[in-house]
Amino acid sequence: MDEEFDLIEQFYYEAGNFVLFCTNIKTYQAMTEEKRKKLIEKMTIMVCKAFAPRRNYDISKAEIREFVKVVIEYEVDRMQ
């Protein structure tokens, strides 16, 4: 059980770094809400392709989408 938790925690750490590496926060801040939603969807797909969270960790695409949004918004808030 602890090993599974560690793997999921490691996945979120790596996926968060992946999202931040692939996202230009300053560009994100200048985007319209519609473009932000599209970027979040694109990043969600990229994370799913790179890490296969449904297959490997039983994490849904909706959960990944929310995670991507939280990671980006946290970074936006942190930079202000």
DSSP string, 8-60: HHHHHHHHHHHHHHH--HHHHHHS-HHHHHHHHHHHHHHHHHHH-HHHHH---
Q: How many domains in the chain? A: 1
Instruction: Check residue 63 and give its pLDDT.
Output: 98
Alpha-carbon torsion angle 33, 39, 44, 45, nearest 10: 130
Instruction: Tell me, yes or no, if the pTM score tops 0.75.
Output: yes
Is 19:70 a contact under the CB 8 Å cutoff? no
Confidence of residue 1 (pLDDT cuts 50, 70, 90): low
pLDDT tens, 24-72? Answer: 999 999 999 999 999 999 999 999 999 999 999 999 999 999 999 999 9
Per the structure, the complete domain to which residue 37 belongs is given by: 2-79
At residue 80 the predicted structure's pLDDT band, cuts being 50, 70 and 90, is confident
